[in-house]
Amino acid sequence: MNRESPKLIFDINHVIQFYRDSVDKKKTKLWALRSRLLQS
């Protein structure tokens, strides 16, 4: 049994999660900026 593969899968999932988190933060910032521009 190969013990490396679960670790590799976990690393890939971690990278995907990190990427999603950063994208969500960017979206949130853009959304806040957009709403601020619309209000003014």
Torsion angle of C-alpha atoms 29, 34, 35, 39, degrees rounded to 10? 140
DSSP state string for 1-40: --SHHHHHHHHHHHHHHHHHHHHHHHHHHHHHHHHHHHH-
pLDDT at 40: 78
- Residue, of 7 and 21, whose pLDDT is higher: 21
pTM for the model: 0.55
Q: Quick one: average pLDDT of 20-28?
A: 96
Answer yes or no: is pLDDT of 1 > 70.
Answer: no
d(CA 5, CA 14): 14
Q: Quick one: average pLDDT of 16-33?
A: 96
pLDDT per position as a tens digit, 25-34: 999 999 999 9
